[in-house]
Amino acid sequence: MSHLLVHPKRELGRRIHVTPKSAGWTYVGFELYRLEPGASVAERTHDREVCLVLVSGKAAIETEEEDFGLVGERMSPFEGKPWSVYVPAGDRWQVTAETTVELAVCSAPGSRGSHPARLIAPETLGQETRGTGTNVRHVTNILPETDPGADSLLVVEVITPGGHTSSYPPHKHDTDNLPAESYLEETYYHRLNPPQGYAFQRVYTDARADGTRELDEAMVVHDADVTLVPKGYHPCAATHGYDLYYLNVMAGPVRTWKFHNEPDHEWLVKR
Q: Work out the average pLDDT over 228-248.
A: 98
Task: Report the predicted TM-score, pTM, of the whole model to 2 decimal places.
Answer: 0.96
Q: Work out the average pLDDT over 164-182.
A: 97
Q: Quick one: pLDDT band at residue 239, thresholds 50, 70, 90? A: very high
pLDDT of 1: 64
Q: Work out the average pLDDT over 226-242.
A: 98
Q: Work out the average pLDDT over 155-169.
A: 97
Sign of CA dihedral 147, 172, 81, 136: positive
**pLDDT for 84-121, tens place per residue?**
999 999 999 999 999 999 999 999 999 998 999 999 99
pLDDT: which is higher, 67 or 11:
67
Q: Work out the average pLDDT over 157-164.
A: 98
**pLDDT for 241-259, tens place per residue?**
999 999 999 999 999 999 9
**pLDDT for 54-91, tens place per residue?**
999 999 999 999 999 999 999 999 999 999 999 999 99
CATH of 5-269, one of 3.40.640.10, 3.40.1350.10, 3.30.530.20, 2.60.120.10: 2.60.120.10
